[in-house]
A and B are shown apart, each in its own frame.
Chain A
């Protein structure tokens, strides 16, 4: 019998704890496929965040560290500086990366720290049960914005790729989504490119994955994907925001 579909070697056989319809499982798998294809599992070290992906260290077969909330880029910096030949990636959500860890994120990027950041932007705090994230949309109802995010009091969402693309240390900043098969293929290609840029020692690379959180959005997985298409992507346009090989380009 020919095996036509299997678990990537870079994933353990632990069962994901993620909710049905959650994007984390897809993105985990894509990272693992890329690690397999590049043949780098043996020298990859991942850094898990605080957030829904806090248990990522149970799912990836490579060496893993668990970081304090927001500090993954600093931890990754320490690992990378200790062993520059390792491939080091962080996996972070929006609260982790763009709220409590903004300083670590911006400075890892501006140092051109040769690490890869996979950023899950689902516009909400998942693990704590659906509070406003730095990327929650204007008007979005969450547990802590029960009347909708009022930009007059809660401020505006952070557009991470746009922000980081202004920094000279950023080698690659690309926003993708996993709402369709075509976009999933794009996402995988972006993740692969990010890891390759690290292999080529080009600097900081970030792939922002616009993702769903059907549980905390209060939608069915299918409706969540539609909500993402209708609301998230218009606010967070997909595309390459910075690619030091290609020069700047926007909106695929």
Chain B
């Protein structure tokens, strides 16, 4: 994939923006053009939250991924809101431990990943976002695994450095799924 046009969406608190940053940083380490654009405003608090990330070989015009070629959906409303906009042939990652429904479009590569459940089983509560990012990495190859891992230590703030290992573990679980 030469250009990743990613929409991540879910509830506030699921780490949507953080996962987006991880993707963006991996792209930065790859020396690619990168943009990251969050939704902002009252919806940050408990409501829906989304984030557009673009990783590209070329200069990025609009940073808004209105017709993404990859979607990570972490709740039902987000899936419903964005599924119709994904480009044909695009990749969709659904956290199936939260979203019970199936995607009825047949022109997409849809992966149902019980990310929240797997993360909890592995003692990585709240890291479904990173797990899904790992799966995205596996399916799209937007960066090398090595650079994605390097990005983890970039985006985890120094004060929370103890969480780097668990983030790496979550990423690996996604890569292995």
Direct chain A–B contact by Cβ atoms under 8 Å: no
A interface with B by C-beta (< 8 Å) = none
B interface with A by C-beta (< 8 Å) = none
